[in-house]
């Protein structure tokens, strides 16, 4: 059973969260807190498996509390953002810098009439976060030792390889993806000369804030894609409710998702479209996340002659998605984020060198 700590100053909101979680046999609310100070004390007292944390609270807000918890007693933290207003979404994105695992929109108001509809998404987010391998952070925001109840993993050795010329790169990430993407994009050339199409599983409505956060924190150009647009250099993510794919080597297509799909955007349509239209001219990268999204599509890309990379087990917050791709035989290379950045830098240098003079 996954032990949950709810941190929320509103009595009504805490009741909503309790009701949303009550029917899941995997989840047990073990404690509640009204502000960040109480949250730290309750984490130390109850050692929960996951924390559901509000942002706006008196005395100590959720971002400050997240940073303190990650320094003192690391535990996976899911941030609940009150609104989708720009200011609140930007604050929610800053929670990733503090060490949060994921961000969701807080259910409010008439949500009590729609518990059955909203509960599965919240439960999935908490269950995924609880499986994350979080690590202690030092005062400067860097990562220190592993969570006390998880064994420290050894860094993987460097595996250099000669990446072939590519004209398009697809990346798929889920839980734990934002800080890894931040690291990779910060270490590759700016501006990056090869277009990158990015699938990051994130709650609907947070795409704009996520793009702004990546742009500011990495120095790269990260934007929301438009259907039918010509593919140009930069990092492109799909708008809410759309997959991001290519309809030709030079055009984007954003097909609508359907209600039966767990993830939209999804890595499978992206990688499959790269396999169909670009074959050996494309590269696919599968990063940390729970489940198997992207694995089948990455296999299609490998079979079409594309370069395929998965994030190394040692560096993943959750190794589910890369593991699924590896088990299918979809991965050619298994690299840590630093090595992925080096491979992308090499590809960028080759692209620049091959430009017509």
pLDDT digits (tens, 9 = 90+) for 132-183: 999 876 644 444 333 333 333 333 334 556 677 899 999 999 999 999 999 9
pLDDT band, very low/low/confident/very high, at 57 (cuts 50, 70, 90):
very high
How far CA 129 is from CA of 2, 104, 142, 164, in Å, comes to 10, 12, 20, 36
Q: Can you tell me the distance from the alpha carbon of 138 to that of 99, in angstroms, rounded to the nearest whole number?
A: 11
Lowest mean pLDDT among 28-32, 47-51, 135-139, 182-186: 135-139
Q: Which of 81, 102, 174, 312 is catalytic?
A: 174
How is the chain split into domains, by residue range? 2-138, 168-353
Tally of helices (H runs) and strands (E runs) in the chain: 11, 16
51-61 burial: b if 16+ Cβ within 10 Å, else e: bbbbbbbeebb
pLDDT digits (tens, 9 = 90+) for 241-265: 899 999 999 999 999 988 777 889 9
**How is residue 114 annotated by DSSP?**
G
What's residue 5's pLDDT?
Answer: 98
What's residue 354's pLDDT?
Answer: 82
In this prediction the pTM is 0.90
- For the question of residue 56 being annotated catalytic, the response is no
Lowest mean pLDDT among 89-98, 149-158, 225-234, 273-282: 149-158
Please provide residue 137's backbone torsions phi and psi, each rounded to the nearest 5 degrees. Answer: -110, 145
Which parts of the chain are beta strand (E)?
2-7, 27-33, 50-54, 77-81, 102-105, 135-137, 143-146, 168-173, 196-200, 222-224, 235-237, 245-248, 251-253, 282-286, 307-311, 333-335
- Any bridge partners for residue 4, and if so which? 29, 50
**Considering only the top CATH level, what class is 168-353?**
alpha beta
How far CA 232 is from CA of 100, 197, 199, 226, 228, in Å, comes to 32, 10, 17, 12, 12
Please give the structure tokens belonging to residue 112. Answer: 């009590």
Mean pLDDT of the chain: 89
Q: At a CB cut-off of 8 Å and minimum separation 6, what does 353 contact?
A: none
Q: Which of 257, 259, 266, 263 has the alpha carbon at shortest distance from 197?
A: 266
CB-neighbour burial class of residue 148 (10 A; exposed 0-12, middle 13-18, buried 19+):
exposed
Q: At a CB cut-off of 8 Å and minimum separation 6, what does 87 contact?
A: none
More confident residue, 110 or 36: 36
**Common-topology check for domains 2-138 and 168-353:** yes
How far CA 239 is from CA of 18, 35, 200, 253, 257, in Å, comes to 31, 33, 11, 12, 11
Q: Can you tell me the distance from the alpha carbon of 239 to that of 158, in angstroms, rounded to the nearest whole number?
A: 36
Please give the structure tokens belonging to residue 353. Answer: 């060198």
Q: Can you tell me the distance from the alpha carbon of 286 to that of 247, in angstroms, rounded to the nearest whole number?
A: 21
Q: Which of 9, 201, 203, 333 is catalytic?
A: 201
Q: Can you tell me the distance from the alpha carbon of 109 to that of 9, in angstroms, rounded to the nearest whole number?
A: 15
Q: Which of 281, 260, 259, 285 has the alpha carbon at shortest distance from 271?
A: 285
- For the question of residue 47 being annotated catalytic, the response is no
Superfamily of domain 2-138: Response regulator (3.40.50.2300)
Neighbours of 251 (CB within 10 A): 14
Lowest mean pLDDT among 157-171, 260-274, 300-314: 157-171
Q: Is residue 277 predicted with pLDDT exceeding 80?
A: yes
- For the question of residue 174 being annotated catalytic, the response is yes
Q: Is residue 80 predicted with pLDDT exceeding 70?
A: yes
Please give the structure tokens belonging to residue 343. Answer: 């491979």
Q: Which of 293, 300, 315, 333 is catalytic?
A: 293
């Amino acid at each position: 059973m996954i032990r949950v700590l709810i941190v929320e100053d509103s009595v009504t909101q805490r009741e909503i969260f309790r009701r949303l979680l009550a029917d899941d046999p995997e989840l047990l609310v073990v404690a509640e807190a009204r502000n960040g100070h109480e949250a730290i004390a309750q984490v130390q007292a109850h050692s929960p498996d996951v924390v559901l944390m509000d942002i706006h609270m008196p005395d100590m807000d959720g971002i400050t509390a997240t940073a303190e918890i990650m320094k003192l007693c690391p535990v996976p933290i899911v941030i609940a953002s009150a609104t989708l207003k720009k200011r609140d979404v930007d604050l929610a994105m800053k929670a990733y810098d503090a060490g949060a695992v994921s961000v969701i929109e807080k259910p409010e108001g008439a949500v009590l009439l729609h518990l059955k509809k909203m509960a599965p998404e919240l439960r999935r987010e908490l269950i995924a976060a609880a499986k994350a391998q979080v690590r202690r952070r030092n005062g400067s925001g860097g990562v220190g030792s592993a969570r006390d109840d998880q064994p420290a993993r050894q860094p993987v050795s460097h595996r250099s390889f000669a990446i072939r010329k590519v004209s398009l790169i697809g990346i798929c990430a889920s839980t734990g993806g934002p800080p890894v993407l931040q690291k990779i994009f910060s270490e590759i050339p700016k501006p990056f000369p090869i277009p990158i199409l990015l699938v990051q599983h994130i709650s609907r409505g947070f795409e704009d804030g996520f793009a702004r956060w990546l742009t500011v924190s990495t120095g790269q150009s990260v934007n929301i894609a438009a259907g039918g647009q010509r593919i140009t250099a930069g990092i492109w993510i799909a708008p809410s409710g759309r997959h991001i794919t290519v309809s030709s080597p030079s055009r984007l297509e954003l097909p609508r998702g359907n209600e039966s799909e767990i993830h939209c955007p999804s890595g499978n349509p992206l990688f499959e479209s790269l396999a169909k239209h670009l074959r050996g001219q494309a590269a696919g990268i599968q990063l940390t996340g729970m489940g198997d999204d992207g694995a089948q599509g990455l296999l299609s890309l490998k079979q079409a002659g594309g370069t395929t990379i998965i994030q190394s087990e040692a560096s993943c917050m959750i190794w589910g998605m890369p593991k699924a791709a590896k088990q299918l035989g979809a991965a050619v290379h298994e690299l840590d984020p630093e090595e992925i950045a080096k491979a992308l830098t090499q590809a960028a240098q080759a692209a620049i060198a091959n430009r017509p003079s």
